[in-house]
Chains A and B, each alone.
Chain A
């Protein structure tokens, strides 16, 4: 997915709804928050042209990728909740890509990216699909 060309992305963006609200992609959910937020101690990185790997599947494959036009999105792996992966703030639309789930488009704003959990005896565990 990291080698996805700009044209591929443009082609996808024509079909992907860009939304402001809550959206889920498999075992991840994107939660809009009244932003911008700047948690203390958070280390922000600019999302590079090849994107940011948010989460790899079970043992390496099926990665959830965050992609944005250069200079329009920053990401921090800050976790306010144990299920969180981090937070991104975008000034233009950004996309979450995954090889087996449809892409999500997020309108400019701030979002928390969170993982899904499952119940098991004595507690919860994170889902890896």
Chain B
């Protein structure tokens, strides 16, 4: 039961975090104003922008000169809001009875950790710098966890704790990232497009930007790897050869297809050998002319569409025997690897 309820709460909060609906400006301003009041400040003036990039480049009128985004974690308001959140969490944690601890740990595993991973993978790429304690404070991961402590684990909150949690929850549900200065709070609109795979685990869109905001700011990503747009539009062996980033290079090659890449790049076949454990298929070793060789193999399992995927692995340049190169990838000798019984 805990697992199903936790999954429902996780989906609900993930949906809010990765939403592309327009923000609810009145609700966001009310919740953020409420948080300012709780730390003894008057509600700020609100300055709305179309994207986090715009927020990070804008110094809003009325902002103190010391409140530059580079010093975000030292601004007074985020510092005090972090303390408010820490006090809430510590206060609730103290109210968790010993017998509820296993459920609480289960919720941490099922909610806090996966939501944190999704936010890191899908939303942080819009921020630069991406790290900062203030961004973690706004993350739905801890809010969802405490929401679930109340709704699933039956932990009792005081009325004051409920009010504080409700403000954080309303702010997180109503808008995107926000930057609270002393007299003005910059709030970003949500993205207009956000494409992920595996249920929000990482950014992925083979057909266009994976993350895009109304002001045109955008990034492309394949299976969670941020890539330049040429990887989507025109991956050529020449561009691949010039690309220094190994993840980007791999994404571009996979976009092109390993066999097409090997052919178009004119890689020289060094040797081929039957693939142990994968009857009827070969391991093929290619010379790239560079500091690595490429071992091309065929997947042991069928894809969902019934095809078999070819994939390449880079191996050290001194290998001449494909079986020895395949063994090396698992830290085994050619002799050991040749005894592979089955590969799926």
Contact = CB atoms under 8 A, between A and B. Distances in A.
Nearest to B7: A3
Nearest to A50: B3
Contacts of A121: 291-292
Contacts of B329: 116-118, 127
B8 interface: no
Interface residues of B, number: 39
Interface stretch (B69-77, B114-122, B258-266): B114-122
Main secondary structure of the interface of B (DSSP, over half): mixed
Given A21-B339, A104-B342, A119 B301 contact: no
B344 A24 contact: yes
Interface stretch (A25-33, A35-43, A86-94): A25-33
A25 B342 CA distance: 8
B162 interface: no
For chain A, give the interface size range: 20 to 34
A104 B341 CA distance: 11
A16 B197 CA distance: 29
Contact of A102 (B201, B224, B301): B301
Contacts of A117: 328-331
Given A23-B277, A120-B246, A104 B336 contact: no
B316 A119 contact: yes
Contact of A83 (B121, B199, B315, B331): B331
A74 interface: no
Given A60-B118, A100-B301, A127-B329, A24 B343 contact: yes
Main secondary structure of the interface of A (DSSP, over half): loop
A110 to B, nearest CB: 16
Given A58-B224, A103-B344, A24 B315 contact: no
B117 A59 contact: yes
B192 to A, nearest CB: 23
B340 interface: yes
Nearest to B312: A118
A125 B292 CA distance: 13
Interface of B: 3, 114, 117-118, 121, 197-199, 201-202, 223-224, 246, 277, 291-293, 299-301, 303, 311, 313-316, 328-332, 336-337, 339-344
17 contacts: A19-B341, A19-B342, A23-B344, A25-B343, A31-B330, A31-B332, A59-B201, A61-B198, A61-B201, A98-B344, A101-B300, A101-B344, A102-B301, A104-B344, A117-B330, A120-B246, A127-B329
